[in-house]
Amino acid sequence: MTTGADAMSSLEQARDSIARAHSVAVLTGAGVSAESGIPTFRGAGGLWKTFRAEDLATPEAFARDPRLVWEWYDWRRGIIAKAAPNPAHHALVQLEKTKREFTLVTQNVDGLHDLAGSGRMLKLHGDIWRMRCTECGANWPDRRTPLPKLPPHCGCGGMARPGVVWFGEPLPEGMMQEAEHAVSSAQVFLVVGTSAVVYPAAGLVPYAKRNGVTVVEINLEVTPFSEMVDFAFSAPAGELLPQLV
Ligand code: BV8
Ligand code: ZN
């Protein structure tokens, strides 16, 4: 972990690596939205009533009690609807503008990267503002908060589910391959605000190192990969990202 005198130099070195790169990839997690007031999954505010996210974000939980799962998603949508992108989201939009090749790979379903203006994005875990029909498979945007009726339904009468990827479900077809390609063809990979424990997303960090990519991690805490990355900065993303790009 970089501290004291050499912190300055490593910040300058990291900023220099980013400035010289013509291809950059970024992985974000809930930590990038924390300064927008959205609770993270594993952070203090992550717990909802007495449930862990892993207990609710599963097909089994939905089959068992769809109303409970929808109450959780309606609660989260209500919080996200009041939130605005923070300087970390905006810094990534600026960075995208300056790079010939740029890919933002996000685990976040909150849509704040979209609101900030990010373009080239891969939403590995879907979008909380979309719904999918459990009968006919229709998929549509719905930004109403609170939802008038829980569970919401599709025009075909089928019950709707949130347009997100639940634990035990595969990511959208081909998206992981696209993410791996973006990472392996980048000079610099920024890893921002993720505890890096959920797979296959977290696997992108060691994958980047295996492909000789310079990895810069920004997190308030040490993560399973802090020792293997080239630069590990312990700072709020909203404060450090604007300085780095
Ligand atoms: C699948 C959408 C296969 C829903 C989400 C290999 C090893 C072990 C387990 C597995 C494995 N492969 C697969 C698994 C199982 C599982 C998994 O990874 N389990 C974990 C818990 C061990 N993975 C899956 O099930 C995946 N699917 O493998 O399918 C398959 C294939 C074919 C056919 C059938 C099946 C699907 C995973 C996706 C699940 N959906 N979200 C919803 O949102 O409701 S995951 C969800 O949790 C998020 O999207 C995110 O990915 C994760 C939370 O992690 P973070 O975003 O990092 O948030 P967290 O709170 O943990 O950490 C925040 C960090 O920010 C902290 O480090 C904190 O210090 C930092 N921070 C806080 N504030 C700031 C900050 N940093 C900077 N600045 C700040 N201000
Ligand atoms: Zn339907």
pLDDT in tens, the chain (245 residues): 445 555 568 999 999 999 999 999 999 999 999 999 999 887 666 665 567 777 899 999 999 999 999 999 999 999 999 999 999 999 999 999 999 999 999 999 999 999 999 999 999 999 999 999 999 999 999 999 999 999 999 999 999 999 999 999 999 999 999 999 999 999 999 999 999 999 999 999 999 999 999 999 999 999 999 999 999 999 999 999 999 99
Q: Find out whether 165 and 190 touch, Cβ atoms under 8 Å.
A: no
Establish whether residue 4 lines the binding site of ligand 1, counting it when its CB lies within 6 angstroms of any ligand atom.
Answer: no
Amino acid 236: pLDDT: 98
E strand or H helix at 126:
strand 126-133
Question: How many CA atoms, within 13 angstroms, populate the side-chain half-sphere of residue 188?
Answer: 23
Establish whether residue 245 lines the binding site of ligand 1, counting it when its CB lies within 6 angstroms of any ligand atom.
Answer: no
Query: 42's torsion region: left (phi>0), alpha (psi -120 to 50) or beta?
Result: alpha
Amino acid 7: pLDDT: 55
What pTM, to 2 d.p., does this model score? 0.95
Terminal alpha carbon distance of the chain: 21
Length of the chain: 245
Cα 12 to ligand 1 centre (Å): 31
Q: Which residue has the CA at smallest separation from atom 21 of ligand 1?
A: 198
Sheet holding 126-133, edge to edge: 139-141, 126-133, 160-164
Amino acid 1: pLDDT: 46
DSSP characters over 145-191: SS-SSSS-B-TTSPBEEEEEPPTTSPPSTTHHHHHHHHHHT-SEEEE
Query: 126's torsion region: left (phi>0), alpha (psi -120 to 50) or beta?
Result: left
Query: Which residue from 199, 229, 233, 244 has its CB within 8 A of the most atoms of ligand 1, so it is best to mutate?
Result: 199
